[in-house]
Structure 1
C-alpha cells in the first residue's frame, strides 16, 4: 500500500484516492528517534560541538524572549502563555536546525541504545557529556554578547530577577529542595521529550511549531526545572547581578535538574515508548531492510 495515500474502490469499480496521514504513528516516531541519535553520533566531533554550542545559544535567546514578552503583564494566565511562547521560539530553532540539545538527546540517544545498539558504547557517553558542556558554553557566550550590546532595558533585568527567584526558590529547603528540583526536572524533560515526540510526528513546518509550543508552554508555566532552559536564564543572571553565585546555580539547580532530565527523557519517553511499541518497531525495521 502506498504510504502517502490510501486507495479504495467505489461501487462503479473506480479507484478513489484518499489522503494519507498527516503525521507519523508512534512506532515510526520512536524509530526516527533512534535514527536521529545515530545521525548525531556519526557527525565529526567539531560538528557535534558546534551544534551543541548553537543549541545552548538558542536557550539564552529563548530565555530573554520569554521575559521580554511577559514583562508588565499582570494576568497570570496570559503571563505564562506569553512566557512559554517566548521560550518555544528557542526550542523551535533547536528542533528545526538539528542542533544538539542535552535535554533532547536524553530522548534520542536512549532510543538509539534501546533499539539500534547496545549499552556499552563509550563514544555515546562522551558525546552526551560534550553536548552538556557545549550547551552551557553556548548559553554563556550569547549572554556575554547580549550584555556587551547594552540592548536590554532596566525593566528586563527587574523581571529577570523575579524569574531567578522563581527558579531558585528550592534552595531554601535544603536536601528536600534538592530532591524537589530533581523531581521537577523529571517532569520538565518528560514534557520536552513529548515536544520532540510531537515535532517528529508532524510532517510540515506548521505542525512542528505547534508540537513544540504546547509542551514548552506547559513546562514554563509549571516552573518545572529544565536544565538547558535554566542555562539561558542563569547565564544572564550571573553576568548581570550577584543575586546568586555560580555554584548555587550549578549544584543547587542544574545538577539535580539534569539528573531528573535524564530520567524524564530517557525512561518516561524513550524507554516507555520503545518497550510499548517494541514489536511494531521491529516489524517496521524489517520492512525497511
Structure 2
C-alpha cells in the first residue's frame, strides 16, 4: 500500500509543476501576449462566456481598430473569402428552400405556400454562411459598417480609415462572390434549378430606389445585431445561436443585403437572366450598400456609442466648456 504522506507529496509536486506551466491570469492561447480587450477581460478574468452590452460595444470598437491595422494582403484575403462564404450560404438557400414545391413557380399553384418556403429558405443557408464568416475568420462589408463606426466614435481610427476599410471590404467581397459564381457555374449545380434564382432576381428589380435603400437598412440592422450577439458569446454554441435568429429573420423577410445581392445577381447573369448593368448596380446594389451602412453604422455602431461609449461624456464636456465661456 502506498504511504498516504508520499501520495500527498506527489500531488503537491504535480500541482506545483502545473502552476509553473499554466500561469493564472495569463492570456489564453486565443490572444497574443499583452493583449487586452473586453472579451479577454470577461473570459480570463471574470470567467464569463457572455459579454455585457457595454463590453460588446467595447469589443466591436476594438475589432474595428484591430482590423484597420491588418496588412493589406490579409485584409484582401479575408474579404475575398467572406464573399465565397456568402456564395455557399446563398446557394444553400436557393437549392434547398428554393427547390421546395411550396416556392413560387416551382410546384403547382395549389402547392404554393410562401410562408413555408421562406421559413426553410432562411432557416439554414444564410445563418450557415454568416456563422462560417464569424467563426472561421473573414471580413464582410456589412459587419465592418458596425465595427468601424464604433471604432471611429471611440477615437480608435480616423474617418478616412472607416472609408478605406469599407471600400476594400466591399471590393474584396465582390471579388469573392464573382469567384464563387464562376465555380458554381463550372460545377453545374444550378442547371435546371434556376426558377427561384430568377424569381428573386427579377423581383428585387420591381422595387423603387428608396424602397431598396430602406430594405438595406433593415437587412444590416439585423445582420449587425447578429454581429453584436456573436461578439457577446465566447463559445461556439453561443455564437451559432446568437447569429441564427437575426440572420434567419433577415433572410425570411427578404431584405436587401448588398453582398448577398452581388452573388445573386452575378449568378443569375451567369445562368442567362436578362439583367442590365444599370439595373444591377444603380437600381439595387448602390441603394442596398448605402442602406446597409445606415443599418450597421447608425442603428448599431452609433446608437451604442451614445449608450455605452465615450461620446456622451465628450459632448457633456463640450457643453460645459461652452456654458463656462458664456
TM range, normalised to the smaller chain?
0.7 to 0.9
Matches within 5 A, 1:179-218: 179-218=210-249
Q: CA deviation at 1:278?
A: 2.4
Q: Does the CA contact (< 8 Å) of 2:220 and 2:295 recur in 1?
A: yes
Q: Does the CA contact (< 8 Å) of 2:233 and 2:242 recur in 1?
A: yes
For residues 47 and 67 of structure 2, the distance between their equivalents in structure 1, rounded to whole angstroms, comes to 30
Q: Does the CA contact (< 8 Å) of 1:80 and 1:217 recur in 2?
A: no
Where structure 1 has 5 or more consecutive residues not aligned to the other structure, the ranges are: 7-18, 171-176, 283-289
Where structure 2 has 5 or more consecutive residues not aligned to the other structure, the ranges are: 1-40, 103-112, 314-326
Of 187, 192, 198, the residue aligned with 1:161 is: 198
RMSD over aligned Cα atoms: 2.3
Q: CA deviation at 1:89?
A: 1.1
Q: Which runs of 4+ in 1 moved over 3 A?
A: 2-6, 19-22, 279-282
TM-score normalised by structure 2 residue count? 0.75
Corresponding pairs, count: 261
For residues 179 and 4 of structure 1, the distance between their equivalents in structure 2, rounded to whole angstroms, comes to 44
For residues 40 and 97 of structure 1, the distance between their equivalents in structure 2, rounded to whole angstroms, comes to 15
TM-score normalised by structure 1 residue count? 0.84
Q: Does the CA contact (< 8 Å) of 1:34 and 1:116 recur in 2?
A: no
Q: Does the CA contact (< 8 Å) of 2:57 and 2:309 recur in 1?
A: no
> What is residue 105 of structure 1 aligned with on the other side?
144
Q: Does the CA contact (< 8 Å) of 1:58 and 1:93 recur in 2?
A: yes
Q: For 2:194, what is the secondary structure of its paired residue?
A: helix
- Higher Cα Rg: structure 1 or 2? 2
Residues 1:61 and 2:88 are matched in the alignment? yes
For residues 43 and 56 of structure 2, the distance between their equivalents in structure 1, rounded to whole angstroms, comes to 16
Q: CA deviation at 1:168?
A: 2.1
> What is residue 15 of structure 1 aligned with on the other side?
none
Deviates more, 1:251-260 or 1:143-152: 143-152
For residues 302 and 228 of structure 2, the distance between their equivalents in structure 1, rounded to whole angstroms, comes to 13
| Relative contact order higher in (CA < 8 Å, ≥ 6 apart) | 1
Q: CA deviation at 1:147?
A: 0.4
Of 135, 151, 157, the residue aligned with 2:189 is: 151
The C-alpha deviation readout for 1:211-245, integer Å capped at 9, x for no partner, is 11111111111111110111121121111113212
Q: Does the CA contact (< 8 Å) of 1:54 and 1:99 recur in 2?
A: yes
> What is residue 249 of structure 1 aligned with on the other side?
280
Q: For 1:24, what is the secondary structure of its paired residue?
A: coil
Deviates more, 1:73-82 or 1:93-102: 73-82
Q: For 2:77, what is the secondary structure of its paired residue?
A: helix
For residues 59 and 96 of structure 2, the distance between their equivalents in structure 1, rounded to whole angstroms, comes to 34
Q: For 1:267, what is the secondary structure of its paired residue?
A: helix
Q: Does the CA contact (< 8 Å) of 1:60 and 1:231 recur in 2?
A: no
Q: Does the CA contact (< 8 Å) of 1:27 and 1:281 recur in 2?
A: no
Q: CA deviation at 1:107?
A: 0.5
